Amino acid sequence: MMNPKPKMVDDRTVLTGLFTLSFPQIAKPGEKYNKYSIRALIEKGSETETALKDAARNAMNESGMDVEVTKVCIFDGDGPKAAKFKGHDGMWYINPSCGGDRERPPCYKGPVLIDDEREIAKTFYAGARCRAEVYAHTYDGGVTFLLNAIQFCEDGERLGGRTSSGSEFDDEYSSRFAENEEPAYPFEPFENDDDIGF
- Give the model's pLDDT for residue 2: 60
Structurally, the chain folds into a number of domains equal to: 1
- Give the model's pLDDT for residue 175: 42
Using an 8 Å Cβ cutoff, are 95 and 21 in contact?
Answer: no
- Domain span at 64: 7-176
**Residue 17 falls within a domain, yes or no?**
yes
For the chain, the straight-line distance linking the first and the last C-alpha, in angstroms and rounded, comes to 36
Residue range 58-79: average pLDDT?
86
Q: How long is the chain? A: 198
Specify the CATH number for the domain of residue 135: 2.40.50.140
pLDDT digits (tens, 9 = 90+) for 173-182: 344 344 434 4
**Residue 195 falls within a domain, yes or no?**
no
Distance (Å, whole) CA 143 – CA 65: 9
**Confidence (pTM):** 0.78
Using CA atoms, how far residue 157 sits from 102, 147, 177, in Å, is 31, 23, 20
Does the pLDDT at position 12 exceed 50?
A: yes
**Residue 193 falls within a domain, yes or no?**
no
Instruction: State how beta strands 142-154 and 107-109 pair.
Output: parallel
